[in-house]
Structures are given as C-alpha cells and as structure tokens.
C-alpha cells in the first residue's frame, strides 16, 4: 500500500550500519528524513550520502534525524561508508538500513517495479514529530537529489507547522510568506504585527514571523 502525505509513518525495526534500531525510538521527538538508495558502491548514491553527511550541522539545527536505506547487507554498507568518507571528504555518522529482505523498502513502497524489480528508486520521506508524513519526493536512480531543496522544504514545513502561513514558489528562509486564507484580512495586524500587503483579497503576504 502506498504512503501518502498526512499518513502515520509506519514503524519498523531494522539492522543498520550502527546496529539494530527501532525507527520511532530513533526519531524520538525529532523530525526525520528517511531516504532510499538503489544500491551500495554506486556513484550517485555515494555523492548523496556524502552530501548528507556534510550537511549534518544543517540537519541538527533543524532537529532532523536522517536515516538512509539500501537493500544491500550491513557488511557491504560498512565497506562502502569507508569509500564515501574517503571520496566525499566527510564522516557518515547517520545509520544506513541494511534492508536485504526489502521489508522497509516494501513497507514504504520504495520499489517501483517498472523502474527496477529489485532496486529501490530514490524515495524520500520527511516525517514530523507527530510521526506523520509531511513530504514525499521520488527521484529516479539516475538523478541525485537536491539537498538544498530538501532543507528548504523542511524550513517551510517547520514554519507552517507553527504559524498560519504558507510559503510561495521558490521561497527561501527569511523571505516574505503568505497569510493563509482562513485568517480574515482585518485580523492580520494582530497576528502578524510586522506588517502585511494585500495584493489580492486571496493573496496577502507578511514578513516571515519568526525572523
Ligand atoms: C547510482 O547511484 O549511481 C546509481 C544506482 C543505480 C542505478 C543508477 C545509478
């Protein structure tokens, strides 16, 4: 069964490169990113895991725990991590699930048989502290993910979880945001005292409230 935005992210236990983990225990009260890789010792995946490791500070600042997955065994992961650290000049310290029996890949519908019968596509799920799925992005094996975009969406998700705002196209942290339409225009000044613009009755903007 496929997973959709708003669904509870299924819990699981898995063997990983840092030992056995229970997904919910690993997440605790943090946000989470669960993302799959088609296979170990492959070039695009090597750059993606290196990039993820080099963004550790960014994920930590946002209170996000990352968890990678590949359907290869743990011994393979451990050797591959050495290569990733060497070639990407980084230190992979987040777990990589060794999903040899594809339990988690199937649970999260990461295998798309018309792309490959055996390997996962590049699935990525952002999970909130309430364990609900907030974002799903799927890339083909041949295209490495844009991790700046992943951080950007996390910024938007965390902002919109706290304030009655939405973020416009190409929004980046620090830029003006949209006041949601459930807030009446006359109520905006009390809720957003930094000011606002009414471009159309349905399009009202305000400076980012937490900056
Ligand atoms: C890669 O990570 O480079 C890759 C993996 C599977 C298929 C194509 C590319």
| Per-residue pLDDT reduced to its tens digit, 99-152 | 999 999 999 999 999 999 999 999 999 999 999 999 999 999 999 999 999 999
CATH topology of domain 13-146: Glutaredoxin (3.40.30)
Ligand 1 mean position to 122 CA, how many Å? 10
Residue-wise pLDDT for 101-114, tens only, equals 999 999 999 999 99
CA pair distance 206, 89, nearest whole angstrom: 41
pTM reported for the whole predicted model? 0.97
Q: Which residue has the tokens 């992943």?
A: 150
Residue-wise pLDDT for 158-167, tens only, equals 999 999 999 9
CA pair distance 78, 72, nearest whole angstrom: 11
Ligand 1 mean position to 162 CA, how many Å? 38
For the Cβ of 39 lying below 6 angstroms from any atom of ligand 1, the answer is: yes
Does residue 1 register a pLDDT over 70?
no
The residue ranges of every structural domain in the chain are 13-146, 163-206
Identical fold for domains 13-146 and 163-206, yes or no, is no
For the Cβ of 38 lying below 6 angstroms from any atom of ligand 1, the answer is: yes
Tokens coding 104: 């988690």
State the pLDDT confidence band at 18, using cuts at 50, 70 and 90: very high
Residue-wise pLDDT for 61-89, tens only, equals 999 999 999 999 999 999 999 999 999 99
Ligand 1 mean position to 45 CA, how many Å? 6
CATH topology of domain 163-206: Antioxidant, Horf6; Chain A, domain 2 (3.30.1020)
For the Cβ of 141 lying below 6 angstroms from any atom of ligand 1, the answer is: yes
Q: Comparing C-alpha atoms, which of 116, 8, 4, 6 is closest to residue 70?
A: 116
Q: Comparing C-alpha atoms, which of 41, 22, 40 is closest to residue 32?
A: 22
103, 12 Cβ separation under 8 angstroms: yes
Structure-derived torsion over alpha carbons of residues 44, 101, 4, 154, reported in degrees to the nearest 10: -40
Residue positions annotated with a catalytic role? 45
123, 35 Cβ separation under 8 angstroms: yes
48 Cα nearest atom in ligand 1: 2
Give the per-residue pLDDT at 132.
98
């Amino acid at each position: 069964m496929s997973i959709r935005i708003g669904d509870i992210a299924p819990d699981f236990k898995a063997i990983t490169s840092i030992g056995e983990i229970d997904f919910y225990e690993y997440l605790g009260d943090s946000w989470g990113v669960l993302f799959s890789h088609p296979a170990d010792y492959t070039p695009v995946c090597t750059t993606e895991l290196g990039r993820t490791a080099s963004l550790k500070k960014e994920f930590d600042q946002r209170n996000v725990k990352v968890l990678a997955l590949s359907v290869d065994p743990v011994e393979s992961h451990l050797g591959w991590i050495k290569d990733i650290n060497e070639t990407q000049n980084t230190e992979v310290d987040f777990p990589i699930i060794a999903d040899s029996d594809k339990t988690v890949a199937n649970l999260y519908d990461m295998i798309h048989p018309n792309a490959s019968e055996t390997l996962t596509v590049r699935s990525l799920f952002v999970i909130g502290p309430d364990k609900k799925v907030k974002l799903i992005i799927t890339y083909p094996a041949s295209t490495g993910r844009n991790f700046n975009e992943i951080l950007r969406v996390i910024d938007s998700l965390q902002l919109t979880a706290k304030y009655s705002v939405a973020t416009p196209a190409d929004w980046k942290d620090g830029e003006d945001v949209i006041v949601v339409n459930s807030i009446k225009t006359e109520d905006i000044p009390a809720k957003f005292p930094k000011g606002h613009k009414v471009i159309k009755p349905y399009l009202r903007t305000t400076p980012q409230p937490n900056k």
